[in-house]
């Protein structure tokens, strides 16, 4: 606690001791009755009494009010469920829980202080404590008490106190995981004391007013059960009080009394609160009040203060992403009309957001404006007026030629997001212009621009694959020269920095899916395809960046789905499958990173027919069975969380291979199956029980294939025995 400050009790610093029962207790020296005799036991324990009037200088006077033993100070129930009963051992988690709770209690007492610098530091400490505290493991209502203690300082007349209070509440909103009590506390109606913002008893103007402020302030008790909240009204009675305060700070008049605007730092922190709310509480806090929020953002974007414009733009980006995510969730019932979301963007696109592109002297503002346009989302973009759609696209294309790297990268990224929108994906002209812009920026000399351009190329190639699956005519309008151009750019980028490489290999996998038989008849294509496979093999087998490796394996999975690439007559090297299958077999068996092994197993299940495995069908079987047996050998304990996913994918890949079984394969696989049969049965049984029907299609198809194979007349007795063992593996209940 603070020393020498008014209204704060001073506690003598104490030596932290172990558990009360881990050291011998100091016996009491008092007799039961004055003048009585000591028992033998007490006489034995009291070996020497000190003379009266000469106490030991090393001992504290326990009768004085200034000393409180540490064991007494921390003697209350911990969050780990330890009761009042003494035990011989106190777990470290219990001690830690008590320490955290005591820190909360001490900080709540510090808020009695009148000094504004002390209040500011105390609220900063509150923010740090909230960030470090796992509230989901602490006692219930602890977070509610924090909110109750910090809330009144939002109405303090000193701007620094308001800012630190907003920071503390921002940390509360950012706490993981989201607690129901946080939502409840934010949705409760404001108390009458907090509503009286013009009352000098609550809103503090100077140090002299602090005494009356402290008298009206009710502090949460961290030692007693929190029953005070039961008297307050529950449920969402209008706008959440924190959102209301932030909007008032930004100049939005919600009620007749809301006429005051916050200082610039308060406005900035209020925008930060809106950003945090959009990430975790969008549906409950932001969505129902979009009409008020857009007023605040529109005003902030047109403010003369540059930092306020910047923070407002970032808040628009956060809200746009949350809105797009919410509307894309098909499982949720949309409670708020989409027209409100459209109105949000139409208001900003009328003037305030577009004006950010005119700040030539401030590239950060232009980059943020590009990010905002990239967060509109397909559902809103499709419903915007045509002139607004054209405006968005035109602004982004112009920014791809900007002289500033941050603006150029942000514009290309936003275009790559827009190209996934259905209406723009079907626009061949827009797709080609976007491809040209990405190709141009991929050659930029600055790494940050190339990184965003490579990500954009991966997005663009993914959109092209999606279009080809929906309509072959749409992809035919994209020239083979453009696909070849992009493929070569990806191959070149795969030798760049890892941040560029991880996206370029993703683009290679997507573009190889687009290669047609007609393209392979042209001379440049076969050689380029072979180089592309060579790059993917190299990237998945070398290097220390695991994301590059698993992206490369996933790219191989995508590429190997293209049936045209297995026609060897078009290739000079007729065995491109050799390095691919060898690399995947080696990775899936023994590589240390399980996510790489999962994607390698996934790639081994991508060929669509038996012929595509060529001579590697049996080696793939063996590799997957070895991988399953080795799944229990974990060098890095961090990989343990991926073990079940690895076993699951191996089982699905084996099910895929089983659908291609022929009669002659049964005897070839007999010895291999016998070697790994027990492990295969155990894992397959667990996976079958765990998987939902939607994900177990390959296993169902394997069972069907085995039943069909049983009907073959050329099946001999040995073959039938092997087949029965296969059926027992995939149908453990037969």
pLDDT at 223: 44
Of the chain, the end-to-end C-alpha distance in Å amounts to 71
What's the CA dihedral at 125, 131, 132, 135 to 10 degrees?
110
Give the separation between CA 198 and CA 158, rounded to whole angstroms.
14
Burial class (CB in 10 A: 0-12, 13-18, 19+), 645: middle
Nearest to 214 by CA among 255, 127, 156, 174: 156
pLDDT means per 10 residues, the chain with 734 residues, are 44 41 40 44 44 41 38 40 56 88 90 90 93 89 91 92 95 92 82 43 38 42 43 53 93 71 89 94 91 94 93 96 89 74 94 92 94 94 94 95 92 95 91 94 92 95 90 77 93 93 96 91 87 95 94 96 83 77 94 94 94 91 93 83 92 94 89 88 89 87 90 84 89 66
- Asked if residue 536 lies in contact with residue 508, where contact means CB atoms within 8 angstroms, the answer is yes
Give the separation between CA 19 and CA 163, rounded to whole angstroms.
40
Nearest to 265 by CA among 362, 107, 120: 120
- Asked if residue 657 lies in contact with residue 624, where contact means CB atoms within 8 angstroms, the answer is yes
pLDDT at 523: 81
pLDDT at 574: 58
At a CB cut-off of 8 Å and minimum separation 6, what does 382 contact? 421, 422, 423
Give the separation between CA 727 and CA 734, rounded to whole angstroms.
8
pTM of the model: 0.79
pLDDT at 733: 66
- Asked if residue 611 lies in contact with residue 567, where contact means CB atoms within 8 angstroms, the answer is no
Give the separation between CA 301 and CA 312, rounded to whole angstroms.
6
Give 26's DSSP letter: P
**How many of the other CB atoms lie within 10 Å of CB of 572?**
9
Length of the chain: 734
Nearest to 496 by CA among 460, 442, 458: 442
Instruction: Report domain extents, the chain.
Output: 1-68, 90-237, 400-574, 617-730
- List Cα–Cα distances, 49 to 42, 46, 62, 628, 722, in angstroms: 12, 7, 17, 74, 90
pLDDT at 65: 38
pLDDT at 476: 76
What's the CA dihedral at 195, 199, 204, 206 to 10 degrees?
160
Residue 380 CA, distance from chain mean position: 24
Give the separation between CA 242 and CA 289, rounded to whole angstroms.
13
- Positive/negative CA dihedral, 113, 118, 122, 127: positive
Architecture of domain 400-574: Alpha Horseshoe (1.25)
pLDDT at 15: 40
- List Cα–Cα distances, 47 to 4, 38, 60, 62, in angstroms: 41, 12, 20, 21
Give the separation between CA 708 and CA 710, rounded to whole angstroms.
5
Q: At 118, list the tokens.
A: 């002390």
Burial class (CB in 10 A: 0-12, 13-18, 19+), 375: buried
pLDDT at 536: 96
Nearest to 517 by CA among 563, 451, 472: 563
Which pLDDT tens digit goes with each residue over 279-311? Answer: 999 989 999 999 999 999 999 999 999 999 999
Secondary structure of 32-54 in the HEC alphabet?
A: CCCCCCCCHHHHHHCCCCCCCCC
| H-helix segments, 523-568 | 524-541, 546-559
Secondary structure of 638-669 in the HEC alphabet?
A: HHHHHHHHHHHHHHHHHHHHHCCCCHHHHHHC
The residue assigned the tokens 């036991």 is 41
At a CB cut-off of 8 Å and minimum separation 6, what does 512 contact? 487, 529, 532, 533, 555, 558, 559, 562, 565
Give the separation between CA 375 and CA 537, rounded to whole angstroms.
35
pLDDT at 259: 56
Alpha-carbon Rg for the chain in angstroms: 34
Task: Please name the helix (run of DSSP H) or strand (run of DSSP E) that holds residue 720, with its range, or none.
Answer: helix 717-730
The residue assigned the tokens 């203060």 is 305
Task: Please name the helix (run of DSSP H) or strand (run of DSSP E) that holds residue 87, with its range, or none.
Answer: none
Percent of the chain with pLDDT over 70: 79
- Asked if residue 536 lies in contact with residue 513, where contact means CB atoms within 8 angstroms, the answer is no
């Amino acid at each position: 606690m603070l020393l020498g400050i008014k209204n704060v009790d001073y506690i003598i610093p104490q030596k932290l001791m172990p558990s009360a029962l881990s050291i011998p207790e100091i016996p009491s020296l008092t007799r039961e009755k004055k003048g009585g005799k000591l028992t033998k036991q007490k006489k034995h324990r009291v070996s020497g009494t000190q003379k009266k009037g000469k106490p030991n200088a090393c001992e504290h006077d326990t009768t004085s009010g200034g000393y409180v033993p540490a064991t007494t100070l921390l003697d209350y129930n911990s969050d780990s469920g330890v009761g009042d009963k003494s035990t011989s051992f106190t777990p470290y988690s219990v001690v830690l829980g008590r320490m955290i709770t005591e820190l909360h209690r001490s900080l709540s007492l510090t808020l009695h202080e009148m000094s504004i610098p002390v209040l500011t530091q105390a609220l900063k400490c509150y923010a740090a404590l909230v960030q470090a505290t796992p509230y989901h493991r602490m006692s219930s209502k602890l977070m509610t008490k924090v909110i109750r203690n910090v809330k009144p300082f939002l109405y303090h007349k000193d701007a620094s106190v308001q800012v630190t209070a907003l920071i503390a509440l921002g940390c509360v909103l950012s706490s993981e995981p989201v607690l129901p009590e946080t939502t409840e506390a934010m949705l409760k109606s404001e108390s009458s004391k907090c509503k009286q913002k013009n009352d000098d008893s609550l809103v503090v103007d100077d140090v002299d007013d602090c005494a009356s402020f402290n008298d009206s302030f009710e502090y949460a008790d961290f030692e007693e059960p929190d029953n005070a909240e039961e008297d307050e009204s529950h449920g969402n009675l209008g706008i959440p009080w924190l959102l209301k305060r932030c909007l008032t700070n930004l100049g939005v008049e919600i009620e007749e009394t809301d006429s005051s605007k916050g200082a610039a730092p308060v406005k900035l922190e209020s925008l930060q609160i809106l950003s945090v709310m959009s990430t975790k509480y969008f549906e409950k806090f932001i969505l129902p009040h979009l009409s008020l929020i857009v007023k605040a953002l529109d005003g902030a974007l047109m403010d003369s203060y540059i930092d306020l414009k910047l923070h407002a733009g970032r808040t628009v980006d956060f809200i746009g992403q949350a809105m797009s995510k919410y509307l894309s969730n098909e499982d949720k019932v949309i409670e708020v009309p989409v027209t409100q979301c459209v109105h949000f963007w139409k208001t900003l696109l009328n003037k305030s957001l577009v004006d950010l592109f005119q700040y030539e002297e401030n590239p950060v503002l232009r980059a943020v404006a590009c990010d905002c346009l990239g967060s509109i989302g397909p559902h809103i973009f499709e419903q915007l007026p045509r002139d607004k759609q054209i405006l968005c696209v035109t602004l982004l294309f112009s920014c791809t030629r900007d002289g500033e790297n941050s603006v150029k990268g942000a514009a290309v990224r936003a275009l790559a997001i827009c190209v996934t929108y259905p209406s723009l994906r079907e626009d061949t002209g827009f797709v080609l212009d976007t491809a040209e812009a990405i190709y141009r920026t991929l050659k930029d000399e600055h790494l940050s621009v190339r990184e965003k351009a490579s990500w954009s190329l991966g997005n663009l190639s993914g959109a092209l694959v999606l279009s080809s699956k929906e309509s072959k005519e749409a992809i035919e309008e994209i020239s083979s020269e453009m696909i070849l151009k992009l493929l070569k750019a990806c191959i070149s980028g795969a030798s760049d920095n890892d941040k560029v490489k991880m996206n370029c290999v993703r683009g290679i996998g997507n573009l190889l899916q687009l290669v047609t038989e007609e393209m392979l008849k042209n001379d440049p294509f076969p050689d380029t395809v072979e180089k592309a496979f060579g790059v993917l093999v190299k990237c998945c087998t070398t290097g220390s960046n695991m994301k590059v490796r698993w992206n490369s394996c996933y790219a191989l999975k995508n590429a190997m789905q293209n049936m045209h690439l297995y026609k060897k007559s078009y290739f000079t090297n007729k065995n491109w499958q050799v390095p691919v299958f060898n690399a995947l077999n080696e990775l899936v068996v023994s590589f240390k990173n399980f996510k790489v092994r999962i994607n390698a197993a996934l790639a081994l299940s991508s060929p669509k027919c038996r012929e595509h495995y060529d001579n590697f069908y049996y080696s793939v079987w063996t590799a997957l069975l070895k991988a399953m047996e080795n799944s229990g050998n974990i060098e890095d304990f961090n990989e343990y969380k991926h073990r079940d996913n690895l076993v699951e994918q191996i089982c699905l890949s084996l099910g895929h291979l089983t659908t291609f079984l022929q009669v002659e394969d049964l005897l070839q696989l007999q010895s291999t199956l016998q070697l790994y049969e027990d492990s295969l049965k155990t894992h397959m049984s667990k996976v079958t029980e765990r998987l939902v029907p939607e994900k177990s299609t390959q296993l169902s198809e394997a069972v069907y294939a085995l039943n069909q194979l049983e009907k073959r007349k050329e099946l001999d007795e040995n073959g039938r025995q092997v087949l029965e063992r296969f059926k027992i593996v995939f149908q453990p209940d037969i």
